[in-house]
Amino acid sequence: MESLTFDLSEGGVRPLNQYLHGPAAGLEGKHITVINPDGAHNIAVGLNTAVQVTIEGHAGYYAAGMNQLADVTINGSASTGVAENMMSGKVHVKGFASNSAGASAHGGLLVIDGDAGLRCGISLKGGDIVVGGSVGSFSGFMAQAGRMVICGNAGDALGDSLYEAVIYVKGDIKSLGADAQIEPLGATDITALMALLAAAGLNHPPQDFKRIASARTLYHWNADADQEY
DSSP string, the chain: --EEEEEHHHH-HHHHHHHHTS-GGGTTT-EEEEE--TT-SSTT-S-BSS-EEEEES-B-TTTTTT-BS-EEEESS-B-TTTTTT--SSEEEESS-B-TTTTTT--SSEEEESS-B-TTTTTT-EEEEEEESS-B-TTTTTT--EEEEEESS-B-TTBTTT--S-EEEESS-BS-B-TTEEEE---HHHHHHHHHHHHHTT----GGG-EEEEE--SSSS--TTSTT--
According to the model, what pLDDT value does residue 223 have?
66
User: Quick one: which of 49, 88, 44 has its CA closest to 63?
Assistant: 44
On the question of pLDDT at 177 being above 80, the answer is yes
pLDDT at 66 over 70: yes
What pLDDT was estimated at residue 157? 98
Could you tell me the pLDDT band of residue 217, with boundaries at 50, 70 and 90? Answer: confident
Cα separation of 175 and 217, whole Å?
18
Inside any domain, residue 153: yes
Confidence of residue 1 (pLDDT cuts 50, 70, 90): confident
pLDDT of 219 reads 77
Is 227 a member of any domain? no
Rounded to the nearest integer, the mean pLDDT of the chain is 95
Residue at 8 is within a domain? yes
Q: Is residue 84 part of a domain?
A: yes
Look at residue 167 and tell me if it is in a domain.
yes
Q: What is the CATH classification number for the domain harbouring 58?
A: 2.160.20.60
Range of the domain at 125: 3-214
| φ/ψ (deg, to 5) at 207 | -70, -15
Residue 223 covered by a domain: no
Cβ atoms of 161 and 142 within 8 Å: the answer is yes
Instruction: Yes or no: say if 184 and 166 are a contact pair by the CB < 8 Å rule.
Output: no
Classify residue 218 as exposed, middle or buried by CB count within 10 Å of its CB (0-12, 13-18, 19+). Answer: middle
Side-chain-facing half-sphere of 218: CA atoms under 13 Å: 19
- Does pLDDT of 228 surpass 60? no
Q: Give the bridge partners for 71, in sequence order.
A: 52, 90
Whether 50 is covered by a domain: the verdict is yes
* Residues above pLDDT 90, as percent of the chain: 91
Would the pTM of this model clear 0.85, i.e. be above it?
yes
Q: How many structural domains is the chain composed of?
A: 1
Evaluate whether residue 222 is within a structural domain: no
- Given a contact cutoff of 8 angstroms between Cβ atoms, the answer to whether 167 and 183 are in contact is no
